Every structure is written in structure tokens, then in C-alpha cells.
């Protein structure tokens, strides 16, 4: 039996590193592939697929204030 370990799990609140508004997204599904996890995330009615390196557990305050 294979075990997969992921950075995030279902229901986690994450922030997209590239989102200038630093909106909260919730992980709704995870697709596992060899050596890769693709996270399906939602923010209101918006949905997006992202990899772990595109997300953060904490918002980027500088980006939200327009400093980056």
C-alpha cells in the first residue's frame, strides 16, 4: 500500500502567492500523481487548481498593501 504525504489537506485555508488581494482559499480536493499533488481550491464561487509551491498558509501583507 502506498502512502502519500501532502503539504496541505482538505479544508485548509491557503493564500495564493500571486494573488494581489490575498483572498482566502479553501482546499476542496486533492489529485495525487507520482511525486506531485494538485490542489483544487475555492474562494466563493471561484475555483482554481494550484500546486503547493503556489500557496502559503499566511497572507503576504506587503502584497496586499500593494508593496510588491
Residue 41 and residue 51 in contact, taking contact as beta carbons nearer than 8 Å:
no
Average pLDDT for the chain = 92
Mean pLDDT of 13-27: 96
* Residue 66, pLDDT score: 75
Range in 4-8, 15-19, 45-49 with the lowest mean pLDDT: 4-8
Mean pLDDT of 34-45: 95
* Residue 6, pLDDT score: 92
For cell 485555508, the residue is 13
DSSP the chain: ------SS-TT-EEEETT-TT---EEEEEEEEETTEEEEEEEETTEEEEEEGGGEESS--HHHHTT--
Amino acid at each position: 500500500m502506498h502512502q502519500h504525504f501532502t503539504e496541505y489537506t482538505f479544508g485548509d485555508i491557503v493564500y495564493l502567492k500571486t494573488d494581489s488581494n490575498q483572498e482566502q482559499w479553501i482546499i476542496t480536493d486533492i489529485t495525487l500523481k507520482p511525486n506531485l499533488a494538485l490542489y483544487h481550491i475555492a474562494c466563493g464561487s471561484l475555483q482554481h487548481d494550484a500546486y503547493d509551491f503556489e500557496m502559503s498558509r499566511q497572507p503576504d501583507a506587503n502584497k496586499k498593501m500593494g508593496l510588491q
